[in-house]
């Protein structure tokens, strides 16, 4: 029997396995492509396609697509719709990302503290979460928007304030399970502080849940901005976002001015769908139970 050398592929790192898992999900890849494309469109686009998006120009109002050098026409105040779509996208994506991330951080910290400490602390903290969830988020948003003057930073804060409850619950459930693991018990036994246990062991081990949820939070936040703006309580002009553009367009629906509705509406559907696809892919990546 001749000696045979069996060549085995080098074992892949967990990161590359995860990446392969993620990229095997075609919808997730499509989601990434869409998000990247919309980011380039919204953040780099205005540098290439420069339009006036601060001062109105009523003499150029309500132009149809192609007229007077406006590929997507103009709106009722004379803003170039293509340029406005870029500026609005910047707001929607920026506020959505920041609010989603902030809500996730808040929720993760809250949930992990409650779950790890347990007892009356857990009971108190989670009753607050329950109470918050019982109040419709959109209602809170509209009330707060009516009280404070909406700016981009204020919108981020407001949306984060109503969005952190779900990640708090998810993280708390994870923390409840993790705190009985040996490595966490060992920290306690060696006199390690609660904050060390939470920051070094609980939170890092919930990262899968947190990251997946974060993508949905971003999608949620973008939708919430759209809702608020659609109801006329969003950013002050000349700032805008895709939801505000949709609101402006609604008054033109019977006039057949599709360029005031289609682009912003499609952009919202695309970005929200894309973040959901990415979240789906990430969940597959972190979820070992369903993997063959």
| Contact positions vs another protein (CB under 8 A) | 54-56, 58-59, 61-62, 76-77, 146, 149, 166, 212-213, 216, 219-220, 223, 226, 230, 232, 236-238, 246, 248-258, 261-262, 265-266, 268-269, 272-273, 276, 279-280
Cβ closest to another protein, residue 113 vs residue 221: 221
Question: In this complex, which beta carbon is closest to another protein, that of residue 123 or of residue 250?
Answer: 250
* CA–CA distances in Å: residue 31 to residues 9, 20, 67, 231: 31, 16, 33, 28
Report, in Å, the least distance between residue 66 CB and another protein: 15
- Whether the bond between 238 and the residue before it is cis, its omega within 30 degrees of 0, is yes
Residue number with CB closer to another protein (29 or 261): 261
Shortest distance, position 8 Cβ to another protein, whole Å:
37
Cα 93 to the center of its chain, rounded Å = 8
Q: Which is nearer to another protein, 115 or 263 (CB)?
A: 263
Least distance between another protein and beta carbon 62 (Å): 6
Residue in this structure with the two tokens 């808040």, named with its chain if needed: 106
Structure tokens at 61: 């109002």
Residue 71, φ and ψ in degrees, nearest 5: -55, -35
Token output for 87: 């500026």
Shortest CB 61 distance to another protein, Å? 5
**Beta pairing partners, 80:** 74
């Amino acid at each position: 029997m001749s000696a045979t050398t069996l060549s085995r592929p080098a074992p892949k790192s967990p990161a590359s396995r995860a990446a392969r898992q993620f990229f095997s999900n075609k919808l997730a890849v499509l989601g990434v492509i869409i998000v990247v494309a919309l980011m380039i469109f919204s953040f780099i686009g205005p540098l290439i396609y420069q339009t006036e998006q601060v001062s109105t120009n009523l003499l150029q109002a309500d132009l149809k697509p192609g007229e007077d050098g406006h590929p997507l026409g103009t709106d009722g105040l004379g803003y170039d719709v293509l340029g406005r779509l870029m500026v609005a996208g910047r707001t929607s994506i920026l506020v959505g990302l920041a609010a989603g991330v902030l809500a996730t951080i808040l929720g993760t910290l809250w949930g992990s503290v409650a779950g790890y400490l347990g007892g009356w602390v857990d009971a108190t903290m989670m009753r607050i979460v329950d109470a918050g969830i019982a109040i419709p988020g959109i209602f809170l948003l509209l009330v707060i928007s009516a009280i404070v003057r909406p700016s981009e930073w204020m919108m981020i804060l407001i949306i984060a304030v109503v969005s952190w409850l779900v990640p708090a619950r998810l993280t708390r459930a994870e923390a409840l399970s993790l705190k009985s693991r040996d490595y966490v018990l060992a920290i306690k036994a060696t006199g390690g502080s609660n904050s060390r246990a939470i920051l070094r062991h609980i939170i890092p081990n919930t990262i899968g849940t947190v990251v997946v949820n974060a993508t949905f939070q971003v999608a949620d936040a973008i939708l919430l901005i759209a809702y608020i703006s659609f109801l006329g309580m969003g950013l002050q002009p000349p700032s805008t976002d895709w939801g505000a553009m949709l609101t402006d367009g609604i008054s033109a629906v019977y006039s057949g001015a599709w360029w005031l509705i289609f682009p912003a509406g499609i952009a919202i559907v695309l970005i929200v769908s894309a973040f959901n696809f990415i979240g789906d892919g990430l969940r597959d990546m972190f979820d070992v139970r369903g993997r063959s």
